[in-house]
Structure 1
Amino acid sequence: MKVLMFGWEYPPHVFGGLATANFGITEGLHAQGDMEITLCLPKPWGDEDRSAANIIAMNAVPVAWRDVDYEYVKNRVGNVMDPELYYKLRDHIYADFNYMHLNDLGGIDFAGGYPSNLHEEINNYSIITGVVARQQEFDIIHAHDWLTYPAGIHAKRVSGKPLCIHVHATDFDRSRGKVNPTVYSIEKDGMDNADCIMCVSELTRQTVINQYHQDPRKCFTVHNAVYPLRQELQDIPRPDHTDKEKVVTFLGRLTMQKGPEYFVEAANMVLHRTRNVRFCMAGSGDMMDAMIYLAAERGIADRFHFPGFMRGKQVYECLKDSDVYVMPSVSEPFGISPLEAMQCGTPTIISKQSGCAEILDNCIKVDYWDIHALADAIYSICHNESLFRYLQEEGKREVDQITWEKVGLWIRELYERTLGMR
């Protein structure tokens, strides 16, 4: 089966959880041996792992004719895409886009990540899709998150092939209900045009059904998973904090969706009972300054550390250095980071309002707003060695069974059902 997949980010260039999920799903599908995945990315860098997918660099796809020789194309795009593909794609330009701001290859450049002109880049990505969908051979389309829904719709209209969209989050999650009407419109349009809607949790599925008015029969729960730790990550030592200061960590975007203020307030309550704990708030976001000020107002700034955004090996070093990991999200479609923490042998506390709570048992679950329960859980893990060991061992054992290969098999079944329906 051939899949034309649209993504926005991919390791090692990680801007959020979407990259991790996209990689895991791609690897899980590839593991079946007979799945051929073509993954379109706005701006790949050339250092991506291409073992599971053929990557098309959308910024190297021509939308207007340019008479350029092979060596020039090779020097310009050879590190991200086969130069031969450039010429094959050039034969499928379908309109005159010379009025747009194009590069020397007749393509459209992307900033990468989530720039201030994000909506313009989403539209440009969709325009380029028209060329790709005309040239590539595929059986089904898979679009990840709202950023690529317009591209998925365009590919469906060009090819007549069925569209699966993957809802990793909705604007209801990101905004606590104060939705951006433009984003909501893009999300709903994607869902209305989709033949199959994959949701990262039942929580998200219910949001899709109730807030976006979708037919439950085409909405399916596809929980995320976690990949086995590479050897270099397994080799990261885990410090022994017995009879020493404990470390409690929050690691994620510092935005209202993630509930960072509840972490600070719970930390304040813990520190009224003991001073033998340090708190790490790793990440960046629009609430970072507010959290620094809040810690100062509560008089606990000397027990708080704000190391900033982390990626790659830094994440796992941070998790292994922690005695407790906390994710107090207000609305979390899934949340892969608790699985990564449990993988590292770090006892974990999550909010009941997170999608991963549906599949995890060997962690502590609290309501995000219940800072008393959160503080009690943190204090208990830090001061009860048997509880710490139980959550450490059983949590790791549980998460080791939640694999992307199983997710890939379920997605394949949904592909087959969707193709059968048509």
Structure 2
Amino acid sequence: MKALMFGWEFPPHILGGLGTASYGLTKGMWECGNMDITFVIPKPHGDEDKSFAKIIGASQIPVGWRDVSREYVESRIGNIMNPDEYYRLRDHIYADFNYMRLNDLGCIEFSGRYPDNLLEEINNYSICAGVIARTEEFDVIHSHDWLTYPAGIHAKQVTGKPLVIHVHATDFDRSRGNVNPTVYNIERDGMIHADHIITVSNLTRNTVIEKYGIDPAKVTTVHNAVTPLSEEFLSVDPPRAKEKVVTFLGRITMQKGPEYFVEAAARVLKNNHNVRFVMAGSGDMMDKMITLAAERGIADRFHFPGFQKGKQVYEMLKASDVYVMPSVSEPFGISPLEAMQMGVPSIISKQSGCAEILTNVIKTDYWDIDAMADAIYSIVTYPAMYDQLKEDGLDEVNRITWDKAGAKVIDIYNKVLHRN
């Protein structure tokens, strides 16, 4: 079976959990066998893992005709795309887009990030999807998150092939209910045009049904998983602090509930001053959290190391005694699973999708800072509790694999293709 996937991130260049989940699921589906996947992203760098999927960059899709030599194409994009592919795509340009800002190859430039002109990039991405859909061979279209829904819709309109959309989050999660109407309309348009909708948790499934008015029969939950860690990550050996270390790792935004982490920290430190708290990540609430820690008189026990990626993440986790995810609304939340892989006891909010499948963690309401503080205090104080959460958590997370999630997605493909 051949799938055409549209995504926005792909490792090693990721800005959040979307890229990690897209990679894990794609590889898990490939491991199930008999899957041929083409994965489209706005801007590849050439160092993506292509062993289980063909990677196409929208930034290398010609949408305006250019008479350029093979040597020139090779020199410009040869590290990312085979020149033959460029010419094959050039023969499927379906309209004259030369009125747009195109480069010397007739391609649209993409940031590969989440720029201020994000809506323009989403629209441009859907234009590129039209050329790709006319060129590639595939049975089903799969769009990851709202940024790629317009591309998936366009590909469906061009080919008539079924569209599956994957809801990794909704704007209700990202905005704490203060929904952007433009984003909401893009999300709902994708849901209406989709032949089937995959959500990463039942929490998200309920949001799709209740807030977007979608038929429950059209929505299936496929929980995320984790990729087994390489020896490089498992063997990291960072310096350990003399004190216990409690870590928050993620975007410092209102969705992630960072203020509840700071408030819980203040309560813990009243009873045990031999603890350090780390808020790793970046986001629009970072300055507020630095100020809040100072106001609570705990700035000397708090660290803000900034955005962590790759090996840094696992070094940070390995140096931790407790991991906390106090998210206000978390569609899934892969980071606690990554912490458990490193043998770190985890505390998660009941308002997270991963709470539906994890048992060897402590769950609290995101707003219950007393319960969160009690859980942190207990783990750093009682070795027996720490050891049990560490060992049982590691055993549990090692059974949550992407090939199982991939098999469920393939079943959904067969359903929309009427093959079962």
Question: Contact (CA 8 Å) 1:26, 1:37: kept in 2 or not?
Answer: yes
Rounded to whole Å, the distance in 2 between the matches of 1:254 and 1:33 is 39
Could you say which residue in structure 1 is the equivalent of 2:257? Answer: 259
Q: SS where residue 405 of structure 2 aligns?
A: helix
Deviations 1:128-152 (A, max 9, x none): 1111000111000000000000000
Q: 1:378-401, CA deviations, whole angstroms, 9 ceiling, x for partnerless residues?
A: 000000000000000000000000
User: Which letter maps to 2:383?
Assistant: E
Q: Corresponding residue for 1:313? A: 311
Query: 1:84: which partner in 2?
Result: 84
Separation of aligned partners in 2, 1:71 and 1:336: 43
Residue of structure 2 equivalent to 1:334: 332
| Structure 1 CA distance for aligned equivalents of residues 336 and 131 of structure 2 | 40
Residues 12-411 of structure 1: pairs in structure 2 closer than 5 A: 12-237=12-237, 244-411=242-409
- Supply the distance in 1 between the matched residues of 2:167 and 2:419 (Cα, whole angstroms): 21
Q: What is the CA-CA distance between 1:34 and the residue it aligns to?
A: 1.1
Per-residue Cα deviation, 1:149-175 (whole angstroms, up to 9, x for no partner)? 000000000000000000000000000
Q: String of CA shifts for 1:235-272, please: whole Å, max 9, x gaps.
A: 1137677xx41000000000000000000000000000
Q: Distance in 1 between matches of 2:312 and 2:79?
A: 27
**Which secondary structure state, in structure 2, belongs to the residue aligned with residue 44 of structure 1?**
coil
- Cα–Cα, structure 1 residues 421 and 197, in superposed 2: closer, same or farther, change >3 Å? farther
Q: Return the alpha-carbon distance in structure 2 between the equivalents of residues 383 and 28 of structure 1.
A: 39
Amino acid in structure 1 at the alignment position of 2:336: P
Contact 1:172/1:179, CA 8 A, preserved across alignment:
yes
Aligned partner letter, 1:76: R
Distance (Å, rounded) in 2 between the aligned partners of 1:25 and 1:416: 17
Off by >2 Å, runs of 4+ in structure 1: 237-241
Which amino acid is 1:284 matched to? Answer: S
In structure 2, relative to structure 1, the CA distance for the partners of 1:379 and 1:395 (3 Å cut) is: same
Aligned-residue offset at 1:57 = 1.3
Q: In terms of mean alpha carbon deviation, does 386-395 or 72-81 score higher?
A: 72-81
Taking a change above 3 Å as real, the CA distance of residues 388 and 238 of structure 1, as seen in their structure-2 partners, is: farther
Shift, 1:82, TM fit: 1.3
**Matches of 1:255 and 1:238 in 2, distance apart?**
27
- What one-letter code is carried by the residue in structure 1 that aligns with 2:110? F
Equivalent position SS for 2:4: strand
Equivalent residue of 1:350, what SS?
Answer: strand
Q: Distance in 1 between matches of 2:310 and 2:162?
A: 35
**How far 1:421 sits from its partner (Å)?**
7.6
Instruction: Write the letter of the residue equivalent to 1:127.
Output: I
Q: Which runs of 5+ in 2 are unaligned?
A: none
Give deviations 1:107-127, integer Å, cap 9, x for gaps: 100011111111100000001
CA distance in 1, matches of 2:263, 2:419: 51
- Whole-Å Cα distance in 1 between the matches of residues 219 and 339 of structure 2? 29
**Residues 1:268 and 1:99: Cα distance change in structure 2 (over 3 Å):** same
Tell me the distance in 2 between the aligned counterparts of 1:251 and 1:38: 31
Between the aligned partners of 1:344 and 1:234, the Cα distance in structure 2 is 7
Which residue does the alignment assign to 2:8? 8
Indicate if the aligned counterparts of 1:239 and 1:320 stay in contact, CA closer than 8 A: no
User: Following the alignment from structure 2 to structure 1, what is the Cα–Cα distance between the partners of residues 230 and 78?
Assistant: 29
How far, CA to CA, are the matches of 2:401 and 2:237 in structure 1?
24
- C-alpha distance in 1 between matches for 2:164 and 2:173: 21
Deviates more, 1:28-37 or 1:156-165: 28-37
**Native 8 Å contact 1:249 1:281 kept in 2:** yes
Is contact 1:252-1:284 (8 Å) kept? yes
- Give, in whole Å, the separation in 2 of the partners of 1:56 and 1:234: 31
Please tell me the residue identity of whatever aligns with 2:358.
L
Structure 1: unaligned runs, 5 residues or longer: none
Identity across matched positions, percent: 68
Letter in 2 for 1:246: K
Counterpart Cα distance in 2 of 1:58 and 1:250: 34
